[in-house]
Structure 1
Amino acid sequence: MATNIFVNIPTADLDRSKAFYEALGYTINPLFTDENAACVVLSDTIYFMVQTREFYATFTDKQIIDPHSQAGASIALSADSREGVDAIVAKGIEAGGNEPRPAQDYGFMYSRDLEDPDGNNLSYLWMAPEAAEKGPEAYMTGQGADVPAQA
């Protein structure tokens, strides 16, 4: 069964958000974009609905957090290589994003966090294909290393 994933995230400046996500290499679907929201196409099945804070609030009775100071969700996206992780984070920083913490290297997995200009957290990661297939412990044992306690 194919599933489409729509991740809704708030923004204080819709035009700035569209420019940021386009700088990362994603496209905007104009059929689902207006003055309230933009549909950012990550893949054939994954989309960000970047919505003005006012419009985002119409979908919930809960308080809308400030992603600069509160964690709501961390969205993890895979890359094909460590270099791919570094490249997209570099593009994001150049486009006005922020890297809130140092890269995390677990041997079998490498990740870097990128905050968009609104503070929404994106984690870009690469995982060794063997670790994804066999699990991190088996992969690291085969490499003659211990699995880090944080993993």
Structure 2
Amino acid sequence: MAFTADKMFVNLPVKDLNKSIEFFTKLGFEFNAQFTDENATCMIINDNTFVMLLVESFFKTFTKKDISDTAKSTEVIVALSADSREQVDELVNKALAAGGQASNDPTDHGFMYTWSFQDIDGHLWELIYMDASAIQQA
């Protein structure tokens, strides 16, 4: 039997928790106060997907490995689906206005449109819109 999970939690180290909360709030994300303290917060993506933003010193208690230096390397790209091309553009533009950095230029594959940014800690986020009708035609 294949493994399935009811919920997904992505854990990301952050330098300044309050600045990270401020950044993602500007993008429209909400947080679960029940799982927020001086070390961490739980950012809600949807009912089953969450991003735990953990202060670096707290993050280090979960691993024996070094934390990736996001200025030099990438360990993960967090990819989120969007409802439209406009929603992709809106969220990336909000991220850039809130202090994020451009990662890649928008890419249009016809059936799929993507654009990405780096958050204030250098983590990569990619927004993806897939046109289901274009996929069916292909």
TM-score range normalised by the length of the shorter chain: over 0.9
Q: In structure 2, what is the Cα distance between the partners aligned to 1:37 and 1:116?
A: 17
Q: Point out the structure with max Rg over C-alpha.
A: 1
Q: Which SS does the other structure have where 2:31 is aligned?
A: strand
| Residue matched to 1:70 | 73
Q: Which SS does the other structure have where 2:46 is aligned?
A: coil
Structure 1 residue runs of 5 or longer lacking an equivalent are 140-151
Counterpart of 1:20, as a letter, is F
Following TM superposition, the consecutive aligned residue runs of length 4 or more in structure 1 with deviations greater than 6 angstroms are none
Q: Which SS does the other structure have where 1:15 is aligned?
A: helix
For the 8 Å contact 1:68–1:120, the answer to whether it is kept is no
The Cα RMSD (Å) is: 1.4
Structure-2-length-normalised TM-score: 0.92
Q: In structure 2, what is the Cα distance between the partners aligned to 1:38 and 1:87?
A: 24
Identity, % of aligned pairs? 39
Instruction: Judging by fraction of residues, say which structure has more strand.
Output: 2
Q: Which SS does the other structure have where 1:35 is aligned?
A: coil
| Residue matched to 1:101 | 104
Q: In structure 2, what is the Cα distance between the partners aligned to 1:25 and 1:2?
A: 26
1:124-139 matches, cutoff 5 A = 124-131=127-134, 134=136, 139=138
Number of equivalences: 135
Q: In structure 2, what is the Cα distance between the partners aligned to 1:129 and 1:32?
A: 36
Counterpart of 1:44, as a letter, is D
Counterpart of 1:28, as a letter, is F
Structure 2 residue runs of 5 or longer lacking an equivalent are none
1:39-78 matches, cutoff 5 A = 39-78=42-81
